[in-house]
């Protein structure tokens, strides 16, 4: 017989402790400095997931797993997100929001240069342009020792505290180069002054420099996009320096900019206008991958290469066309014709005509340090297309984006698995994105890549990966590794986030597919079509993307943003095996479409005997 506890004793027993709620702010991390924005997003997770959450007094929707993201007003300076649950649980997250405008004119006057952080070299006739920021509503002027004194600066827009000035540089024998700025003031008025870190110098003539390392990037402006990529030892004519970049003269109508740290002085005088080397014989030879062309030259000249609908165009600068012979290889079935022309003073164009859709990739180099140029052209691979292994004969390189380490001061790497993002070591940064439930993008990328690998291998493809687990593979090494692994295709797998201040609810968030070169467009097209058909997320479109891993020239390359790590529902989906397999299936379907693989034949049942 069970004894019953008297009611009075039940009242005297201690009550079971009530489980306290929890608010875990994940992003932004404690103390993060963000730009001057009126609103920004904050995300994290709570428990219990059914609790009502407010942040700074605003109600915040919570996903079924406890994850949340909110877009809230912020003010400049030290700012606090204060979270509260309906059970009384509270938590805070402090950040720093940059001020939009400089200090008001009623306070301490301030003026600082925003340009000329490094030395500037100009040719006579060039214009010097300077900029500064400070107290708004003042009359600013700048001076260059031995060149100009108290040249006016314009505040634009009015009241912004941003000042701009310029002057034409002529030859002065006694230029000192010191650059200063100040506010003009009356006899008893207050002023402020600034001194630039870099000096201003004059060149008597252009100088000859050469690239000091491989993969040197030339831009169309110091803060512009990429124009070309050059190996070490390529000669360049520099006509000035500005903010750590050298201005490069390439042809009468073509200029570029290169980081000053990526070049060194070259022997010899600058090339005469429009001339550095002649082009000689062009010789073609069949290879296992397609075709290689050797162009006789006598120095390493800068060049650009562009895939065209009919093949490849290589443009040489400082070049004089003197090609009288093209030697074809009768066994070469890729290059149908070579055409060339002097396109301008010091500018030669050489066209390798392959036929529509036949050029699969290319690489331009100066082998063994010689001045002769080598152009390798890849032919389209021909997988078997026969079921059950229609992709046999194809090698695919998968790149699970990012690494499993925090980037910490002193180039130190700390494994992410040792610390959750909310307890990241001070001064460290994340490689990749993180979600409200503290899911690391790098781990999801790998899980998806492993499923793509299994699918493609099941169809006969050989699949290699830039990393198989916790290996640290630098970003710059991934395209090179893809070539070394013998890839025919390169696919970089990622998941998305947004920048501080951007509205996570401002537009539908979902998947996107990026390419860079023309010969990668068909790959991106095919994958994007499959995602539109198979993935139930908003379509953010197929896009041109200036990503390092998308700039692969040796093979078609695409970068996939599968979903958004920061959106609670999408983070939850990305952590499920079923959704990862669905994403992998879309990638696989895209490759089958790319190569025109026929539908899998339906097996016919054998007829039984009567």
Residue 10 pLDDT: 43
pLDDT for position 605: 58
| Whole-number pLDDT of residue 105 | 44
pLDDT at 8 over 70: no
Three-class secondary structure assignment of 108-135: CCCEEECCCCCCEEECCCCEEEEEEEEC
Q: Please tell me the predicted confidence (pLDDT) of residue 272.
A: 63
For range 112-130, the mean pLDDT? 90
pLDDT-derived band at 410, boundaries 50, 70, 90? confident
Question: What pLDDT sits at residue 330?
Answer: 95
pLDDT tens digit string along 533-576? 999 999 999 999 989 899 989 999 999 999 999 999 999 999 99
Q: What are phi and psi of 212, to 5 degrees?
A: -100, -5
Percentage helix, strand, coil for the chain under 3-state DSSP, each rounded to 5: 15, 40, 45
For the stretch 28-37, pLDDT in tens is 999 999 999 9
Per-residue pLDDT band at 524 (split at 50, 70, 90): very high
Nearest to 31 by CA among 345, 487, 490, 425: 425
Question: What is the C-alpha to C-alpha distance for residues 432 and 436, in angstroms, rounded to an integer?
Answer: 14
Q: Return the closest-CA partner of residue 114 out of 222, 200, 196.
A: 196
What tens digit of pLDDT does each residue of 173-222 get? Answer: 567 789 999 999 866 567 899 999 999 988 888 889 999 988 899 998 88
**pLDDT at residue 191, as a whole number:** 85
Q: Check residue 429 and report its DSSP letter.
A: B
Residue 285 to residue 66: CA distance in whole angstroms: 62
**Which pLDDT value is given to residue 499?**
95
Burial of 394 (0-12, 13-18, 19+ CB in 10 A): buried
pLDDT of the residue at 604: 65
| Domains of the chain as residue ranges with CATH | 22-97 (2.60.40.10), 111-202 (2.60.40.10), 207-265 (2.30.30.40), 277-379 (2.60.40.3500), 395-594 (3.40.630.40)
Q: pLDDT tens digit string along 212-263?
A: 988 899 998 888 888 888 999 999 999 888 888 999 989 887 899 999 999 9
Query: 371-390: per-residue pLDDT in tens?
Result: 799 999 999 999 999 999 99
Per-residue pLDDT tens digits for 338-365: 999 999 988 999 999 998 989 999 999 9
**SS3 state at 591:** helix
Percent of the chain at pLDDT exceeding 90: 72
* pLDDT at res. 594: 97
The sign of the CA dihedral 600, 602, 606, 607 is negative
Q: Where are the beta strands (DSSP E) in 546-597?
A: 557-564
End-to-end Cα separation, the chain, in angstroms? 73
pLDDT of residue 186: 67
Task: Report the chain's mean pLDDT, rounded to a whole number.
Answer: 90
- For the ranges 268-272, 274-278, 542-546, the one whose mean pLDDT is highest: 542-546
Distances (CA, A) of 269 to 17, 143, 235, 339: 84, 33, 11, 32
Pick the range with the lowest mean pLDDT from 268-277, 450-459, 595-604.
268-277
Phi, psi dihedrals of residue 43, rounded to the nearest 5°: -145, 165
Instruction: Round to whole Å and give the CA distance between 436 and 93.
Output: 14
């Amino acid at each position: 017989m069970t004894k019953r506890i008297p009611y009075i004793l039940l009242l005297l027993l201690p009550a079971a402790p009530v489980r306290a709620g929890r608010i875990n702010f994940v992003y932004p991390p404690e103390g993060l400095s963000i730009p001057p924005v009126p609103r920004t997003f904050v995300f994290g997770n709570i428990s219990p997931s059914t609790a009502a959450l407010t942040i700074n007094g605003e109600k915040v929707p919570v996903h079924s797993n406890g994850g949340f993201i909110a877009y809230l007003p912020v003010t400049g300076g030290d700012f606090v997100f204060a979270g509260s649950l309906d059970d009384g649980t509270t938590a805070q997250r402090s950040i720093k929001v940059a001020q939009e405008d400089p200090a008001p004119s009623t306070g301490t006057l301030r003026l600082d240069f925003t340009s000329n952080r490094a030395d500037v070299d100009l040719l006579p006739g060039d214009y010097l342009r300077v900029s500064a920021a400070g107290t708004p509503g003042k009359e600013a002027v700048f001076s260059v020792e031995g060149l100009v004194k108290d040249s006016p600066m314009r505040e634009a827009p009015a009241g912004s505290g941003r000042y701009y000035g310029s002057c034409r540089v002529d030859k002065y024998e006694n230029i000192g180069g010191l650059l200063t700025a100040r506010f003009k003031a009356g006899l008893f008025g207050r002023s402020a002054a600034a001194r630039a870190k870099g000096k201003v110098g004059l060149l008597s003539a252009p100088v000859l420099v050469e690239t000091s390392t491989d993969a040197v990037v030339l831009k169309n402006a110091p803060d512009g996009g990429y124009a070309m990529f050059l190996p070490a030892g390529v000669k360049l004519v520099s006509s000035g320096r500005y903010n750590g970049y050298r201005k490069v003269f390439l042809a009468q109508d073509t200029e570029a900019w290169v980081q000053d740290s990526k070049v060194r002085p070259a022997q010899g005088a600058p090339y005469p206008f429009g001339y550095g080397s002649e082009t000689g014989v062009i010789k073609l030879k069949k290879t296992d991958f397609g075709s290689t062309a050797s162009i006789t030259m006598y120095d390493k000249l800068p060049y650009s290469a562009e895939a065209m609908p009919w093949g490849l165009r290589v443009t040489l600068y400082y070049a004089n066309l003197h090609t009288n012979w093209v030697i074809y290889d009768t066994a070469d079935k890729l290059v149908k014709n070579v055409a060339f022309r002097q396109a301008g003073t010091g500018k030669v164009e050489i066209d390798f005509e392959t036929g529509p859709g036949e050029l699969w990739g290319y690489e331009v180099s100066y082998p063994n340090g010689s001045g002769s140029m080598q152009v390798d052209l890849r032919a389209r691979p021909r997988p078997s297309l026969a079921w059950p292994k229609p992709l046999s004969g194809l090698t695919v390189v998968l790149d699970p984006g990012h690494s499993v380490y925090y980037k910490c001061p002193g180039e130190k790497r700390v494994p992410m698995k040792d610390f959750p993002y909310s307890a990241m070591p001070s001064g460290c940064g994340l490689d990749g994105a993180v979600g409200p439930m503290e899911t690391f993008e790098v781990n999801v990328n790998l899980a998806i890549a492993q499923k793509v690998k299994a699918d493609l291998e099941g169809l006969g493809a050989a699949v290699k990966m830039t990393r198989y687990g916790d290996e640290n593979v630098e970003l710059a090494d991934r395209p090179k590794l893809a070539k070394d692994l013998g890839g025919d295709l390169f696919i970089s797998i990622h998941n998305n986030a947004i920048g501080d201040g951007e509205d996570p609810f401002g537009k539908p968030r979902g998947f996107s597919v990026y390419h860079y070169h023309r010969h990668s467009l068909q790959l991106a097209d095919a994958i994007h079509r499959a995602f539109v058909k198979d993935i139930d997320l908003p379509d953010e479109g197929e896009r041109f993307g200036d990503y390092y891993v998308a700039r692969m020239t040796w093979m078609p390359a695409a970068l996939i943003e599968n979903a958004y790590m920061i959106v609670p529902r999408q983070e939850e989906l990305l952590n499920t095996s079923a959704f990862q397999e669905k994403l992998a299936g879309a990638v696989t379907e895209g490759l089958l479409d790319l190569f025109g693989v026929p539908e899998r034949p339906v097996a016919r049942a054998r007829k039984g005997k009567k």
